[in-house]
Chains A and B, each alone.
Chain A
Amino acid sequence: MLSDIWLVVVKEYREVLLRQGGRRANILNMVLIFAVFGVFMPLQTGEWWVQQPWTPIFWAWLPLFLVSALVADSFAGERERHTLETLLTTRLSDKAILFGKIAAAVIYGYGILLAVMVVSLFTINIAFAAPRRLLFYRPDVTLAVIVFGFLITFMVTVIGVMISLKASTVRQAGQALSLGILMLLFFPGLILGYLYRVLPGDTQVRLLDFIEQLNPSIVLLTVALIFVAVDAIFLAIAMKRFRRSRLIDE
């Protein structure tokens, strides 16, 4: 099963490297990502890049954009290029195909996220570190990036794969996924903001007091667990939706 999943992952990478524009253009894209997020932005931000606690929020959304193109292509691309049916005629199990597609996108998005994080650390140390003093991310920030980076990448990937399973073209899948990502980014904030505003004044004060008293570690752990639960639910839905007969019928 694992070797089958890995086989699908490798096939996905070969195809991605050679998608529109060819190998050179895609390597250039990668270089651009590292140049912007690993060099330019840390240089602009300075030491704060590794010291301030908002870094995880910045890093966590990066994979959303990195994986979106890959997952939109996962099934809709195969359908568009008439390779899906042949893939389904192979011995590969439903799970191997589905998990292979998901793993390819997660490894890609999450891998780049971690690699950019390391490159930016080098940039900061080369540009701003005093002699005999290394700058490093705060441990809690590092942990938050590693955990939330993975959970968010996984969630977006699974949502993207579900959209791609249903979409008839890559373009359609890409548009639907972009809309989904925007909703994911802004909807929770808008809802919470609206709910806060409709609360009576004294309740708002009590709520703010309550939030101030919360232990940040407990809050982060709770949010992480919520993400794990949501990821598990989405994965279960994706597994249920992945049926060869349904893919052929559609």
Chain B
Amino acid sequence: MSEIAIRTQGLTRDFPSVRAVDSLDLEIPTGVVFGFLGPNGSGKTTTVRLLLGLLEPTSGRAEVLGHDVTVDPQAVRASTGALMEHSGLYERLTAQENLQFFGRAAGMSRGDVKARIRELLEPLDLFDRRGEQVGTWSRGMKQKLAVARSLMHRPRVVFLDEPTAGLDPVAAAGLRDDLARLVAEEGVTVFVNTHHLADAERLCHQVGVVREGRLLALGHPDELRTAAGGRRLEIAGHGLGDQIREALLAMEGVLEVRPENSRLLLDLSPDVRTPDIVRLVMEHGGEIEEVRRGSETLEEAFMSLLEGGADAV
């Protein structure tokens, strides 16, 4: 088995008026959940279409499980599953008929299809409703079924394009939990497009941030938070006045100090040590009741990456 599930080198796709994907270089190891984060129109869906061999690249190349997507797209599609922008379910058919069609289309035997339907739908609480027409279902139920469909033939790589889009918060959280469990159980490599940071926080081992087709950052969500915004420190206490703020700002590695009620919120570069901060506050007469370390949320890191005009990696 290839150690790298997905590899792109200078992958570029132009449309008549826009460059949707711009020199994308990615290496995604097998077994990880990779989050591709970016605002609408940033080239996420085009990237998935390129990786599935549905679109041809303008330049560059891409491999999925060792298969070149332009040379052998059918082999790529045979070993991958996909949930695209829309659920893609046949609403006039029942849930069972949908899964039967896609299972058989993937080359599964009738017996295997039957067993797999039970295996996938039971944990999603959909098995008893498998005989119902999908068109009568709620959006959340359809999304769950679409996820099950994408895993139907036990693919080694699954592409999910905005899986929680359009769901209410409760349904989205439920789907995220089901996804996390299914992904862990199935042991597949997942490439998930999203602009919902909660999806990335909950599911992803590795994330890439993309804007206007260019990759801005790549790494573990924690690494991105640190790289984008450094560390945060929250000091609560008394006597944390202007003199202490000025002293802190003069200290190397302290980026910003904001007073908030009886607290100070500090943005720090990664190399600053907390004991040095505490010592400086006390030396200037401050009384500390609580010191709490924190970091930027992924959402803040994401926003600062997008707004900060970071150079592509």
**Residues of chain A having any CB pair with chain B under 8 Å:** 4, 7, 11, 14-15, 18-19, 81-83, 85-93, 244-245, 248-249
Say yes or no for B86: interface residue by CB 8 A criterion.
Answer: yes
Nearest A residue to B56 by beta-carbon distance? A245
* Distance of A7 Cα from B90 Cα, bound (Å): 14
Which residues does chain A contribute within 8 Å of B93, judged by CB atoms?
11, 14-15, 18
Among A14, A81, A87, A89, chain B packs the most CB atoms within 10 A around the CB of A89
Q: Which of B46-54, B216-224, B234-242 lies at the interface with chain A? A: B46-54
CB-based contact A82/B86 at 8 Å: yes
Given contacts A245-B54, A248-B49, A248-B55, contact A91 B106 (CB under 8 A): yes
Nearest B residue to A84 by beta-carbon distance? B88
Say yes or no for B207: interface residue by CB 8 A criterion.
Answer: no
Nearest B residue to A81 by beta-carbon distance? B91
A93: contacting residue among B74, B86, B88, B91, CB under 8 A: B74
Nearest B residue to A87 by beta-carbon distance? B88
* Distance of A249 Cα from B50 Cα, bound (Å): 12
B90: contacting residue among A83, A91, A245, A248, CB under 8 A: A83
Which residues does chain B contribute within 8 Å of A88, judged by CB atoms?
54
* Distance of A90 Cα from B78 Cα, bound (Å): 7
Contact with A along B55-98 (1 / 0, CB 8 A): 11000000000000000011001101111111111111100010
Given contacts A14-B97, A19-B92, A91-B107, contact A248 B84 (CB under 8 A): no
Given contacts A14-B97, A93-B74, contact A244 B82 (CB under 8 A): no
* B83 to A: closest C-beta gap in Å: 8
B84: contacting residue among A7, A85, A244, CB under 8 A: A85
Given contacts A83-B88, A89-B82, A91-B74, contact A245 B55 (CB under 8 A): yes
CB-based contact A89/B52 at 8 Å: yes
Among B84, B89, B133, chain A packs the most CB atoms within 10 A around the CB of B84
Nearest B residue to A97 by beta-carbon distance? B105
CB-based contact B97/A85 at 8 Å: no
B54: contacting residue among A19, A89, A92, CB under 8 A: A89
* Distance of A7 Cα from B52 Cα, bound (Å): 22
Which residues does chain A contribute within 8 Å of B133, judged by CB atoms?
18
* B159 to A: closest C-beta gap in Å: 8
A15: contacting residue among B73, B84, B90, B104, CB under 8 A: B90
Question: Interface size for chain B: under 10, 10 to 19, 20 to 34, or 35 or more residues?
Answer: 20 to 34
* Distance of A44 Cα from B184 Cα, bound (Å): 69
CB-based contact A85/B54 at 8 Å: yes
CB-based contact B89/A83 at 8 Å: yes
* A184 to B: closest C-beta gap in Å: 30
Query: Lowest 4 A-B CB distances belong to which pairs?
Result: A86-B88, A82-B86, A18-B92, A89-B82
* A84 to B: closest C-beta gap in Å: 8
Which residues does chain A contribute within 8 Å of B107, judged by CB atoms?
91
CB-based contact B86/A85 at 8 Å: yes
CB-based contact B86/A90 at 8 Å: no
* Distance of A18 Cα from B132 Cα, bound (Å): 13
CB-based contact B53/A244 at 8 Å: yes
Say yes or no for B127: interface residue by CB 8 A criterion.
Answer: no
CB-based contact A85/B78 at 8 Å: no
Among B80, B91, B101, chain A packs the most CB atoms within 10 A around the CB of B101
B105: contacting residue among A18, A19, A90, A244, CB under 8 A: A90
Among B78, B92, B133, chain A packs the most CB atoms within 10 A around the CB of B92
A89: contacting residue among B56, B84, B90, B91, CB under 8 A: B84
13 contacts between A and B (CB under 8 A): A14-B97, A18-B93, A18-B133, A81-B91, A82-B87, A86-B84, A89-B77, A89-B80, A91-B77, A91-B105, A93-B74, A248-B55, A249-B55
Which residues does chain A contribute within 8 Å of B87, judged by CB atoms?
82, 86
Which residues does chain A contribute within 8 Å of B49, judged by CB atoms?
248
Contacts beyond the supplied A90-B77, A244-B53: 7 A-B pairs with Cβ under 8 Å: A4-B105, A14-B90, A18-B93, A18-B133, A83-B89, A83-B90, A85-B54
